[in-house]
Copies of this chain bind each other. A is one copy, B any other.
């Protein structure tokens, strides 16, 4: 790599670190002023944003991206308005910084308070969705963190135009423009440099496909918060309510198949498989869900003449992100729990049952970020939790697990008041 590129990235990180110290003590009013200015300039800058976006779209067509991929890259008036609205919503959220998390006075008179503070400098590594640039920048800003954004090359010109607006909004509010910076190159070497700057950058959040996340996790010496896949289960217990079983399974599988909290795996207790599975399977088939079954489930569906296929071993651990569901019959809630812990991704798993004892056993035994009783896995989401916004759904167990909102973008510090205490 050229020395210049390493110097450039290091300089960005140094300026981000300096800006983070100012941002950490900025008032809520000042941070909100920057956000509201941004919400104002995004629609106003429509011509410049569209011109930049047009360059990315032209390159995308030249590189023969698919229609769906090009659609994701595309800005239009409506999308800009939605983006501005999301910025206003984040401005309206409570400021997480400064909250007293705990307070105690020790026998020696020391008063210990644990305060929520920003993490510091957060690096966001993402792919080709332009809204991620704004989403991540505003969540980091509101939580008092400086951010370094490194988006995909497919959206480089659009991101550069957004970065200019962010700098303008920060400056307007009297905050350092360096509080949000874009890596001005998509050279992979720049990313490699960034991932080693562990004295300047405190956290890396990769947003995107598994190979991107894995690359970041394997190459970063900075702590990474990962957002891996969701291999989510719905377990229909012996004491399941049939109507809830059908409604929740259908919603968990088909309300949006491409997201991490969509269900991929169905387990049915053998005591009710003969009656309940056909009902649920018919509902899934009506939405064109392919059912990949184990022998027991296949025999039941065969008898009912419900179309299905045979599952492979790989299907039982698959994140299909499609109208496909693997189906197995299990002999007990304990087998269901063991199956989920073995084959799932500890993301979002649900039990349908009327039996509270069984539900409590499932809650305790399933080692996942979020466990549901009689509700859809699709509710594992920062907005649905009432966080007001989310930067993703963490699959890690340290720091943040499940939906990450503004509070999860914070660390804490202890401040201790004494009157001359010394340790004996």
Chain A positions within 8 Å of B, measured between CB atoms, are 21, 24-25, 104, 106, 110, 112, 117, 119-120, 198, 202-203, 217-218, 221, 223-225, 241, 243-244, 247-248, 250-252, 255, 341, 359, 363-365, 367-376, 378-380, 384-386, 396-399, 401-402, 411-424
Q: A367-B24, A402-B414 are in contact. Are A423 and B378 (CB under 8 A)?
A: yes
Give 8 nearest A-B pairs by CB, closest first: A375-B418, A251-B422, A244-B420, A378-B423, A399-B399, A398-B399, A397-B411, A370-B414
Q: A414-B371, A416-B373 are in contact. Are A221 and B223 (CB under 8 A)?
A: no
Q: A364-B25, A370-B414, A415-B371 are in contact. Are A221 and B225 (CB under 8 A)?
A: no
Partner of A375, one of B365, B398, B402, B417: B417
Task: Note all chain B residues with C-beta closer than 8 A to A369.
Answer: 413-414
Task: Note all chain B residues with C-beta closer than 8 A to A21.
Answer: 341, 365, 367
- Residue in chain B with minimal CB distance to A17: B341
Task: Note all chain B residues with C-beta closer than 8 A to A251.
Answer: 422-423
Could you show 11 A-B contacts with beta carbons less than 8 Å apart?
A106-B386, A202-B398, A247-B420, A248-B422, A255-B423, A359-B417, A368-B413, A373-B416, A380-B414, A398-B411, A402-B413
Cβ-defined contact, A413 with B371, below 8 A: yes
Cβ-defined contact, B248 with A417, below 8 A: no
- Residue in chain B with minimal CB distance to A397: B411
Task: Note all chain B residues with C-beta closer than 8 A to A397.
Answer: 119-120, 202-203, 223, 411
Task: Note all chain B residues with C-beta closer than 8 A to A24.
Answer: 364, 367
Shortest C-beta distance, A156 to chain B (Å), equals 29
- Residue in chain B with minimal CB distance to A372: B416
Q: How far is the CA of A26 from the CA of B278 in the complex (A)?
A: 38
Shortest C-beta distance, A206 to chain B (Å), equals 13
Task: Note all chain B residues with C-beta closer than 8 A to A368.
Answer: 413
- Residue in chain B with minimal CB distance to A414: B370
Q: A385-B112, A423-B255 are in contact. Are A370 and B416 (CB under 8 A)?
A: yes
Task: Note all chain B residues with C-beta closer than 8 A to A421.
Answer: 248, 374-376, 379
Cβ-defined contact, B203 with A415, below 8 A: no
- Residue in chain B with minimal CB distance to A341: B21
Q: How far is the CA of A378 from the CA of B424 in the complex (A)?
A: 9
Task: Note all chain B residues with C-beta closer than 8 A to A415.
Answer: 363, 370-371, 373
Task: Note all chain B residues with C-beta closer than 8 A to A198.
Answer: 217
Shortest C-beta distance, A89 to chain B (Å), equals 17
